[in-house]
Amino acid sequence: MEFDAVIVGAGPCGLSAACRLMQLARDADKKLNVAVVEKGSEVGAHIISGAVFDPTPLNQLFPDWQQLGAPVTTKVAGDEVLFMRSSASALKVPSLLVPAPMHNKGNYIISLGNLCRWLGDQAEALTVNVFPGFAASEVLYESDRVVGVATGDMGVSADGRHKQSYQAGYELR
């Protein structure tokens, strides 16, 4: 399969890169064919973490993210840093002594999996080809240049034999 760009991984970075490529192509009145391959059975399946999220990059990528229904709704109400003296005792560190990056004013508490699912929807709306269930297994080279990736074969038994359901991997270039 031929593409202008192939991105491995439908996490926040891969999906954001795909969306931005398509936005730039649209703004330049160009047509791009972009693919994202994701090893999980669905976008977000391998992203199980919660996170404190700074919305600045999302504001840049999708200035109207709130109207688009991004799952970024729970604002950080406050934060504390504690110094654990023992398993039963802690001291609160005065806010003045806490480094600026550890202050979360203006940030949100989110599910990264939900954010990735939403970004996947935005990518598809921008005509990105998102392929969940396909793990990239090999980088493809021509001379000393990367030209794509190959996905892994499916339907291979633990001892390496092809099952009845065997399907060879795909080359995405």
Q: Which three-class secondary structure state does DSSP give residue 59? A: helix
Q: DSSP states of 134-165 as a string?
A: --EEEEEEETTEEEEEEEPPEEE-TTS-EEEE
Supply the CATH classification number for the domain 5-76+110-134.
3.50.50.60
Query: What is the full per-residue pLDDT of the chain (173 aa) written as tens digits?
Result: 999 999 999 999 999 999 999 999 999 999 999 999 999 999 999 998 899 999 999 999 999 999 999 999 999 999 999 999 999 999 999 999 999 999 999 999 999 999 999 999 999 999 999 999 999 999 999 999 999 999 999 999 999 999 999 999 999 99
The per-residue pLDDT for 6 is 98
The per-residue pLDDT for 22 is 99
Listed by start position, the domains of the chain span: 5-76+110-134
The per-residue pLDDT for 48 is 87
Q: Which three-class secondary structure state does DSSP give residue 23? A: helix
